[in-house]
Every structure is written in structure tokens, then in C-alpha cells.
Amino acid sequence: MDTPPPLLHIDNLRAVKVLGKGATGTVFLVHDKSGGQPFALKVAEKSSAHRRARHEISVLRRLPPHPLLPHLICSFEDDEFICWGIPFCPGGDLNVLRHRQSDRVFSPAVIRFYLAEIVCALQHLHQQGIVYRDLKPENILVQLSGHVTLTDFDLSRDLAVRKSHFSSHTIPKSNTRSRFALGKKKAKSARVSPVSRRNPIEDFSANERSNSFVGTEEYVAPEMIRGDGHEFSVDWWALGVLAYEMLYGTTPFKGRNRKETFRKILLARPEYIGKPDPLTGLIGELLEKDPTRRLGYWRGAAEIKEHRFFRGLRWELLTEVSRPPFLPSRDEPKEGGIDVKEHFRRMNLPPSPPPDGCRSDLSLAEF
């Protein structure tokens, strides 16, 4: 039986600094007065985000250990707050790291390494029947080792796993033509269809598909916009958007506003610079509008690992690489004296809505 995470109390923690603020709550770098290594503490108000917070804690608690995914260090709550701790990643996120590059893009070799690790992390989630649904550079953190880890599981969902997803199932003949081709059939309307707003607590059961509409607008898959229902392949679509952004410094379907972005996601093809190569080939196969023709739909991560962009990669040794592309500083964070509760109250003012056209989180479901 797994040992439950220790029960700490917020009054025994002191914050070194604020690491970030999201839809669910605020993240602090904290240390326990009794000692131990600093860790990241998420703090959410019960009045605003308790369902999403409890869902993320539940996912972290039951995830089998994996070197590219976080584990739950502690969790606790009082009358006002829900708090949970995860390991601190001193390397920041991939968005920050990309902007530190001289041309604000990664080389194909660096992209290959990070994409491979993300594929392995998503594969582990999918094997547990969890679709992530929030893949983006800001949610990919760099550990002290230089390897990545995913974060923020409040938009994840439990889904039933198809037997073919982790077998040697062959793609049906009707789906064997090039995934680059959109086909000659009439394209669906770009009008954004109404989507289901069913209680997400009901959707947390092992359904075959989900109808919730969540994510970050530039990373949302076409089937989400159409309201067709979706499954694990929305994560592979997001992987294609991520790869494109890492290569070119922008997402492939970004419009002047949300409506134009959605229209491009539904109808436009990604534009590439230069001659086709294995990386752009991978992106094109991941950004297939029809999820049943998308790379990864039939056999999950196995299909993506077999792509020629990853040819020669020793997948079994990936997490043992001692010199990843970027190694964070080993400087120990200085102990601070910020009171977590007071600082949370002071900074947790109602956020202003993002201007139309800015990348923003979408969640029409109440968590």
C-alpha cells in the first residue's frame, strides 16, 4: 500500500517567493519550519476553485511514480484554503526557456529531446486512463536534472482506454492515406458549435469520450471546437502545436481574436518554412483535423515513437541522459519570511479578463 503524503499545515510553512498564479490558485516556493527541501505549494481558495483543486490532488495522489511527472508531497486544507505541495522545478518552464534563446526558438535536436520526454509523460498518463488536455509550454517545467515534467492537472479527465490504444492494432485501410491530405470531402463549417456544459464531476468517471470544452485557445483541438466529443488524441494535437511553437516561435493557427483562431484551427493548414523534413512531417501528422487520422489515435504513443523524426532514439535510456540541453542553476533558494496566507490574500485580487486575441485558458465547465 502506498504511503500517504505527510499532512503539513500552512501555518508551519514560510514562502520564499511567488512562483506563479493560475486559474486554480497561486504557487509559492516554500520551506517547512521543521526543515527539509523547499517545494512548490499550490494554494487555492475554497470559495473559487475547490473542485478543480481537489481533482488535481486526486490525480496526483493516484499517479504511479514516473520520472517525468510530479508526485504529491503533501496536501491539507482549513476553512479558507486548499493546499498541496509538489516538487520544485528550478529551471522554469519551456516558454521562459525558449525566450532565453538568441532567436527565441529551439534547434531540431533540442526539440527532439523535449518532445520525446513529453511523449513518454503523456503515454504514462494515458495508460492510467487520464487525458491531460492542457499541454502548452507554460505547463512543461524543467527539473534540476534538466529533464522535464508536466504540471497542472486540474483540466485532466478520466477516460476509458481502448484496447487498441496500447496494442499492435493496425490502422484501418480507410485511414491509411497520407495524414497530410485533408481529403476532397466538403470541409465542416468553421462556426463554433455549442458544447456540452455537463457537470464535470460526472465526466470524471471512465467515459469513452468527453464533451467538456477546456484548454488554451491556441492549443484546442478541432473536435473540441466542433463539440464532437474528444479523447486521448487531443493531447497529440496539442503536441503538434507545441512542436510548431518550439520550431517557429509562434503557434500555427493564431488569429487576431478567438473567433479567427478557432476558424484557422478548423480549416487552415499549418505553414512551414523551407523544405519538408522529419520534424515538419511529424507536426503535420499530429495536426490532422480528423482525430481518427491523427498520429497516435490508434496505438497511442507507440505510433509517435515510430515516426522517422525519432529514428535511432534509445527510448529506454531517455531519462538517464546526464546532460540534457539545459541544466538549471544549483543555487539553493534563500529562506524567506512571507506569510503564505496573508500574501495570498493580498495578491489574489479578481483578475482582469485577457484582451481579445491573447492566449488564454478556456474552461466552460465549472470545476
Residues that are catalytic: 134
d(CA 282, CA 183): 19
CA atoms within 13 A on the CB side of 145: 12
d(CA 60, CA 56): 6
Beta strands in 22-159 (DSSP E): 26-32, 39-45, 74-77, 81-86, 130-131, 140-142, 148-150, 157-158
Query: In sequence order, what are the beta bridge partners of 4?
Result: none
Q: How far apart are the first and last CA of the chain?
A: 29
d(CA 170, CA 363): 35
Residues comprising the chain, all counted: 367
Contact yes or no for 213/362 (Cβ under 8 A) = yes
> Strand pairing of 157-158 and 39-45?
unpaired
Contact yes or no for 151/186 (Cβ under 8 A) = no
Contact yes or no for 269/181 (Cβ under 8 A) = no
d(CA 95, CA 109): 17
Q: What are phi and psi of 15, to 5 degrees?
A: -90, 130
